[in-house]
Amino acid sequence: MDLQSIKQRFEIIGNATGLNRALDIAVQVASTDLSVLITGESGVGKERIPQIIHSQSLRKHNNYIAVNCGAIPEGTIDSELFGHVKGSFTSAHSDRKGYFEEANEGTIFLDEVAELPLSTQVRLLRVLETGEFIKVGSSKGQKTNVRVIAATNVDLAERVSKAKFREDLFYRLNTVPIFIPPLRDRQEDIHLLFRKFASDFADKYRMPIIKLTDEAIQVLKSYRWPGNIRQLKNMTEQISVIEEKRIITAELLKSYLVGSGSTNLPALIKKQTNLEDFSSEREILYQVLFDMKKDMNELKMLVNNIIKQNPEVKVKDFQTKIVENYNDEIKLSDIGTLYHNDDLSNQDAFEDRGEVVEEVLSLQEQEKELICKSLEKNNGKRKLAAEELGISERTLYRKIKEYDIKK
């Protein structure tokens, strides 16, 4: 059966490359008994793939059982999958067949397989490797011949790295991987799906079909669709039922889209100016110090220009005014002392002293001074000082100890 026939039979809409690739792999692997792992975001339609595989396999005349592993409580999932014998637990009043026994010679689809408890994963691995399982409360093994297809919307490799999923089971399930692309990567299919859903709901509710304006179509295609096809279908049904107008504008469509400002276009990242952009805490402190140094140099240039323009004016006369207008709370008392000289006729001496002020502190001393000022400003409260400096409280403690700061 070709892909077009498959799409028509299982009502699959779209011609995106990723979708066609997934369907092609499903058809090719159907005639084998290899395990298949289907991955993709929630709502992309992963449940259609195992149906296609089963329908095209030699097992198509036997049972096909779909199990949502995330919907079964941990305490009963072993019983659901593998069955139990009478008396194995309080409510076990009789023997019960599990899904693996019921699906013998057929196909079992384990949706949300990542939600399986580790103890159940061990049982599942045994079925995959030997075709044998043991009912809950029994000591006798039973054979089953089942094709296992699993699906998940999480990164199983990451789960393995965190010891939340067995590595051997992951590789056993992942014999043939099939990835279903999210709807935002199938832009050419989005409007086709909308039209299909709109037509279905028009028939269901016996009302005229809704249509989109050109601007609304662009909004539809540019939206990111975090809920994928499921979200698109639900939204189309809402509009079909609620709106009296059958022509849907862009503005009206946006009112049904959660966070409609989020588009499929590349995001423009505004350059951040806060301290969190730096790669290390030391770099943060250094950047603050360099900014302060720049401000100090600019202030010195201002002082120098004023003195050049008004040689009769002394630093002490305008120092207070400058401090009042300086927003960065940098105290100039030390600078004023260094710059103040009754004889300012020697300009070279003034500039030499400016260089001394610029280079007098090493980076470590400036860092210590910055920490001291922040602690003083925050009345010795280290948590507030750490937040102001943009470093962790633990790092601030280390710095206080390193510089022997008595605060």
pLDDT at res. 407: 59
Give the residue-averaged pLDDT of 231-253.
95
According to CATH, the topology of domain 3-181 is Rossmann fold (3.40.50)
Residue 400 pLDDT greater than 60, yes or no: yes
Q: Which residues pair with 141 in a beta bridge?
A: 134
Q: Considering only residues 331 and 404, tell me which one the structure prediction assigns the higher pLDDT.
A: 404
pLDDT at res. 283: 59
Residue 302 pLDDT greater than 90, yes or no: no
Q: Which CATH class is domain 184-254?
A: mainly alpha
Interaxial angle between packed helices 281-309 and 363-377, expressed in degrees from 0 to 180 and rounded to the nearest 10: 90
CA distance 239 to 253: 8
Among 173, 172, 190, smallest CA distance to 181 is for 190
Residue 306 makes CB contacts below 8 A (sequence gap 6+) with 313, 318
Q: Considering only residues 307 and 91, tell me which one the structure prediction assigns the higher pLDDT.
A: 91
pTM of the full structure: 0.64
Q: Which residues pair with 37 in a beta bridge?
A: 150, 177
Three-state SS for 26?
helix
Residue 383 tokens read as 């948590």
Residue 22 pLDDT greater than 60, yes or no: yes
For all residues of the chain together, what is the average pLDDT? 82
pLDDT at res. 380: 83
Residue 341 pLDDT greater than 50, yes or no: no
Residue 270 pLDDT greater than 50, yes or no: no
pLDDT in tens, 75-103: 899 999 999 999 888 888 899 999 999 99
pLDDT in tens, 135-155: 999 989 999 999 999 999 999
Among 300, 31, 46, smallest CA distance to 179 is for 46
DSSP for 155-186 reads: -HHHHHHTTSS-HHHHHHHTTEEEEPPPGGG-
Residue 303 pLDDT greater than 50, yes or no: yes
Q: Which residues pair with 133 in a beta bridge?
A: 142
Give yes or no on whether 3-181 and 184-254 have one common fold.
no
pLDDT in tens, 178-228: 999 999 999 999 999 999 999 999 999 999 999 999 999 999 999 999 999
Starting at the edge strand that comes first in sequence, how are the strands of the sheet with 107-111 ordered?
64-68, 107-111, 147-152, 36-39, 176-179
pLDDT at res. 356: 43
Distances (CA, A) of 14 to 137, 202, 229, 286: 48, 21, 11, 55
Domain boundaries, the chain: 3-181, 184-254, 275-403
